[in-house]
Amino acid sequence: MNDAEELAKLAELHARGVLSDEEFAKAKARVLGGQAAYGAGAAPAPHVGAVNGLRRARVDRWIGGVCGGIARATGLDSWVWRLIFTVLFLAFGSGILVYVLLWIFVPEE
């Protein structure tokens, strides 16, 4: 929904008496300020910062530091991530592929 549609809906709600003058002014300021719920200027989701901050660990590493870096970003222990990658490798063979891709594309801290 773009800003014009959002403002039209707000004006309709205000005209019907659903929104008070104060509520309408606040909502209009939010839309015009780029803070609409799903608009282009909406704040990024909280997990985006964790993904952008993902780095391979230098200290907590066995092979490439991938599990240590993911552990730091997610809050789980690194042994849990090592176990997940091992199970994926043993069950489907995809664990090694994912680990190598992360080793290549995730920068070191």
pLDDT digits (tens, 9 = 90+) for 67-82: 888 888 888 888 898 8
- Amino acid identity, position 95: G
Instruction: Return the CA Rg of the chain.
Output: 23
pLDDT band at 36 (very low <50, low <70, confident <90, very high): very low
Place of tokens 């970003």: 73
Quote the pLDDT of residue 17.
Answer: 85
Higher-scoring residue by pLDDT: 51, 109: 109
Q: Report yes or no: 50 and 72 within 8 Å, Cβ to Cβ.
A: no
104 forms bridges with which residues in the sheet? none
Measured in whole angstroms, the distance separating CA 47 from the mean position of its chain's CA atoms is 3
pLDDT band at 99 (very low <50, low <70, confident <90, very high): confident
pLDDT in tens, 82-97: 898 889 889 878 888 8
Is residue 65 packed enough to be buried (19+ CB in 10 Å), middle (13-18) or exposed (0-12)?
buried
pLDDT in tens, 11-32: 888 898 888 888 888 888 888 8
Mean pLDDT in residue range 50-58: 70
pLDDT band at 35 (very low <50, low <70, confident <90, very high): low
* Residue-averaged pLDDT of the chain: 78
Q: Report yes or no: 18 and 9 within 8 Å, Cβ to Cβ.
A: no
